[in-house]
Structure 1
């Protein structure tokens, strides 16, 4: 196995690489179903607002999406992640990285200041943290619909080291987007834990 290097959380090269992803603290909200639905975008919007309040910043945070399928689903790898099981069965976690660990109470206080109709009381917004982990990653440029080719390149790298996906697929969206955003210039880090 090659020498692995630690990576900055918000950095990836245009060529697939094996890295040690850092530990990260987040504010998070879970959901289920296809990405791109009204509910998906609502959750994304409210989490963005909460992250800005917690960070005391008007800067748009990088929104991350962690995806996985229910336990009874067909096992998938990296390249076929979106092509085996129904996309509507996806489970996801919308995440925004924070500079410091936050408490559930701090998140509740931030939410209490929001009057937006996007802030549904039924949403469970909580702190979430990941430990350092071995991953394959690459920078994807352009439309989300073209990620399948990029994921195949990631799978090929993992296979070359006899590794396979070992946890939720992660997409780090470096550029803000909504449903009607032109996706051509978007940059998305695709990162999969492997073992």
Structure 2
């Protein structure tokens, strides 16, 4: 039985160059969970565990139907109240996030709900499993770039993205989106690879 690997099936989605590029994506389905707080907090850790627990429960269900797949990379959307460009100026406890794991196109909401219930029954102490949702996201045209290094140096990469957006008469039209290609538990911080992505729209330019 072949196992679907989304990172190989959707190479553009899971790859980015070392300089900003324009890409476009169709509607994609994800398991998701929303929260607020420091990414080093127990709240964030529990949300991540719950998301993976349900993802592997969905995988197990489909594997029985000979539709096995590799659980995809963790992703996150990030925002703060007020000006999103000032995210690093507010305490990390005030950060909002939505964690995501992409699902294959054949996964249905009914099967996700059954898998979520099964996961909740197995891990009764992990109450936030109840908060896992199955939703679609259509970001459309995006600017993305590969960030290599610790998360703390992301502003350097984001500055390049902002310069590209301004120089090409674009404007932000969605949330800051990250895809974590490396496992920070197994990878040195200087070698971490993270795709940074922003949905954008064209600004109409009036020529004189």
Q: TM-score, normalised by structure 2?
A: 0.76
Task: Indicate whether 1:53 and 2:57 are aligned.
Answer: yes
* Contact kept in structure 2, 1:28 and 1:47, CA below 8 Å: yes
2:45 aligned residue: 41
Q: Determine which of 11, 21, 26 is the counterpart of 1:22.
A: 26
2:127 aligned residue: 120
Q: Structure 1 residues 99, 35: closer, same or farther in 2, change over 3 A?
A: same
Task: Indicate whether 1:96 and 2:104 are aligned.
Answer: no
Q: Structure 1 residues 151, 133: closer, same or farther in 2, change over 3 A?
A: same
* Contact kept in structure 1, 2:50 and 2:129, CA below 8 Å: no
Q: Give the count of matched residue pairs.
A: 183
1:74 aligned residue: 82
* Contact kept in structure 2, 1:25 and 1:101, CA below 8 Å: no
What CA distance in whole angstroms lies between the structure 1 residues aligned with 2:77 and 2:116? Answer: 22
What CA distance in whole angstroms lies between the structure 2 residues aligned with 1:118 and 1:155? Answer: 42
Instruction: Note the aligned Cα RMSD (angstroms).
Output: 2.6
5+ unaligned residues in a row in structure 1: which ranges?
Answer: 1-6
Shift of residue 75 of structure 1? 1.8
Q: Determine which of 128, 137, 140 is the counterpart of 1:130.
A: 137
What CA distance in whole angstroms lies between the structure 1 residues aligned with 2:183 and 2:170? Answer: 32
1:183 aligned residue: 189
Larger Rg: 2
- Runs of 4 or more off by more than 6 Å in structure 1? none
Task: Indicate whether 1:154 and 2:161 are aligned.
Answer: yes
Shift of residue 184 of structure 1? 2.6
* Contact kept in structure 2, 1:52 and 1:58, CA below 8 Å: no
Q: Determine which of 29, 32, 49 is the counterpart of 2:36.
A: 32
Name the SS of the counterpart of 1:95 in structure 2.
strand
Is the deviation greater in 139-148 or in 80-89?
A: 80-89
What CA distance in whole angstroms lies between the structure 1 residues aligned with 2:57 and 2:86? Answer: 34
1:107 aligned residue: 112
5+ unaligned residues in a row in structure 2: which ranges?
Answer: 1-10, 61-67, 202-208
Q: TM-score, normalised by structure 1?
A: 0.81
Q: Structure 1 residues 150, 143: closer, same or farther in 2, change over 3 A?
A: same
Task: Indicate whether 1:11 and 2:15 are aligned.
Answer: yes
